Chain A
Amino acid sequence: MEAETTGRRLAARQRTIRIAAGLFVAMLIVFTLIGNSLQALTLPKVSAEKPSQGRLSRSFHGSAVLSPAETADLTNPAGWKVAQVLVKPGDAVHRGQQLVSYDDTEAQRQIEDETAALEQLELPKPQLQHRYVDAVQSGDEEAILDARTALESADASIRAQQNRIERLRHDASADRQLVAPFDGIVTEVHAVAGLSAATGGPDVRLADAASGFQFRLQIPAAIADTLKPGDAMDVRLTEDDSRSLKGTVAKIEDGDAADATAPSRSADDGAGDMASSESGSGAANSGSSSETGSLPVTVTIKDPSLRGGERVEVELSRQESKDALLVSAQAIHQDRSGVYVYAIEKRQSPLGNAYYAARRDVTVIDENGGVAAVGGDLYDYDQVVLDSSEPLQDGVRVRL
């Protein structure tokens, strides 16, 4: 009897325990499933890309205005008044062509004065000749010498005066007009009829057609480094797209030299890199091609159809010579300890794939626009984190 009740109580208790155990296991399973999902929800979400193998290309697009390569400033050295201006800006003139004619009345007057003086010198001459004849007839040695000296000195004065007049005439005829010394195009005319010695510049500025035109561009140092004087460059007119002209690189200058407002190089060499690129005057140290500065480059161009003052455009592009891993510049971060990117590492487990952000230190070889070529702890099978919903840290688990 007792055994029976104990048996029944035992069975009842065991059933309770069985139920309790079942509930326990069920609860654990539920919590396991919920926990996994909850954890995945709180992970930062990232977007990733695969780096590509390739070459970084840079391009530059610039425009400038053509100006004459060689010009000559022509002025009247005598400073006479201008009688007539025979050319205007833009005219093409050839060598020897008259440009400006000057009023030579002053010179003429001077010649007249000198001619009058000459006449005056010639006046005593018959008298001296007469005296000479007399002296010879008288036979006086001293008188002969005296008379001859007087005659010769008068002749000399007359000759000198004649030379002077000759010179004056020659100068007057030369200075009467301004003549083009070479073939070219008139760029500026400052001479005004009626005024003497043009104010504010030469009477005529002439552009030498033979030497062509030039323009100046600020080209980024990285591309400018590949150019050297003598290189050909494709140039296009802004107005007339159909033609493409060939220009030649004439000169590449250092950034600092061109900009008068650049900070003195010796003063802050260390901080000079920052300062000079801010002021836009190019690389502070020659040879550092990764600076973001630009260098002024002068290009000459020769074409009979050009007039000067046209706007031209240049497009240059350059590709790096070696392959490198290219990643978006957005993926690169920097902090106190260096430059790095986050790569995604996959770890497999029975619970599924887990992705972790791993920090990889890289060095930026080159950068252009939104793309950077990097080297370092990165391989082309890695995936690089572009953007994340939360700031990442090394080793943090992420959700793709």
Chain B
Amino acid sequence: MKRAREPLTKLIYTLLAVLPAAALALPIVLTLTNSLMTEREIGSNYDWLGKMGDVAKGQQDAFVNLKLLPDWLSFGQYAQLLLRAPVYLHQFWNSVGLSAPIVAGQTAVAALAAYAFAKLKFKGRDKLFLVYLMAMLMPFQVTLVPNYLIAGKLGLLNSWAAIIGPGIFGAFGVFMLRQFMAHIPAAYAEAARMDGAGHGVIFRRIVLPLAKPGLAALIVLLFADQWNMVEQPLIFLEDAFKQPLSVELSRINEQARGVGFAASVLYMIPMALLFLYAEAYLVQGIEQSGIKG
């Protein structure tokens, strides 16, 4: 009986997996293909958005045409993005300049803090960790106003430091890495201590390599978060030339749709590359975390 059902079950399971995947992948595919269309074609597809009327009242009804294939393949949008309007590239580098320090900084700081929380024993450790937890659970908007006031008093408004500073000392990294490091058997550390290793050596030589999957996961998640940040730049940064590309893409209007698609494709690439690179570590981490003892 099982054998007879196998192809059918397989088909059903495949469909159950593929259809949602297709639905989720559709926006990305649309972005890719629309970036290869001319502006006029995009207009003919999407101009009806918001203008469709009520058929019952006799107004015109229209359907938005989601085209997956361009009628006329054109790279004009990319030419516009890369050559003629350097402002987009400039904002891309702004994004890089904002995200990279945060990711690197938070990973470094959180690794150290997580090691302390996971491996060291000191008075008030758990209570302090509880505070970290609460800080992580609070939505970002709650701490926005105090952050703004402090940044103002420090004179950091309208500079990247107002965003990078709080970013580096975020609580999420500490939490995640601590969980990871807690799973590393204490036996490794003890063995190393018996050989005369101090905390620094243990941290560098034993804990970090073992926590690579956790670090990879943290980096990917942090990057995804910071790469797409919109509210912080809007609030803390005034000058337009300091804004990251995510802010610009959030403001795409009718004039810049074509370039917006191309810029979105450009914006997706670093994220995709990073994920592909870190995926190996993630898989490795998932495999390894099953191992205990």
Using a CB–CB cutoff of 8 Å, the interface residues on chain A facing chain B are 10, 13-14, 17-18, 20-21, 24, 28, 31-32, 34-36, 38-39, 349-351
Contacts and interface: CB of A to CB of B under 8 A. Distances in A.
A15 to B, nearest CB: 10
Interface in B253-283: 266, 269-270, 273-274, 276-277, 280
Given A31-B82, A349-B241, A17 B273 contact: yes
A148 B89 CA distance: 142
Contacts of B89: 28, 31-32, 35
B93 interface: yes
Query: Interface majority SS on B: helix, strand, loop or mixed?
Result: helix
Nearest to A354: B241
Contact of A21 (B82, B85, B277, B280): B277
A24 B273 CA distance: 10
A24 to B, nearest CB: 6
Contacts of B276: 13, 17
Contacts of A350: 241
Interface residues of B, number: 19
A35 B83 contact: yes
A35 B84 contact: yes
Given A38-B84, A39-B86, A14 B93 contact: no
B240 to A, nearest CB: 9
Contacts of B277: 14, 17-18, 21
Given A17-B276, A24-B270, A34 B90 contact: no
Contacts of A32: 86, 89-90, 93
Contacts of B82: 31, 34-35
A21 B273 contact: yes
A39 B84 contact: yes
Given A32-B86, A34-B83, A35-B82, A351 B241 contact: yes
Interface string B3-16: 00000000000000
B92 interface: yes
Nearest to A20: B273
A69 B233 CA distance: 85
A24 B269 contact: yes
A43 to B, nearest CB: 12
A251 to B, nearest CB: 67
B280 A36 contact: no
Contacts of A10: 280
Contacts of B273: 17, 20-21, 24
A14 B82 CA distance: 27
20 contacts: A10-B280, A14-B280, A17-B273, A18-B277, A21-B270, A21-B273, A21-B274, A28-B92, A32-B86, A35-B82, A35-B83, A35-B84, A35-B89, A39-B84, A39-B85, A39-B86, A349-B239, A349-B241, A351-B90, A351-B241
Nearest to B86: A35
Contacts of A20: 273
B280 A35 contact: no
Contacts of A17: 273, 276-277
Nearest to B89: A32
Question: 6 closest pairs, A vs B, by CB?
Answer: A35-B86, A31-B82, A32-B89, A17-B277, A349-B241, A21-B273
A122 to B, nearest CB: 126
A28 B90 CA distance: 10
A21 B223 CA distance: 15
A147 B82 CA distance: 144
A2 to B, nearest CB: 12
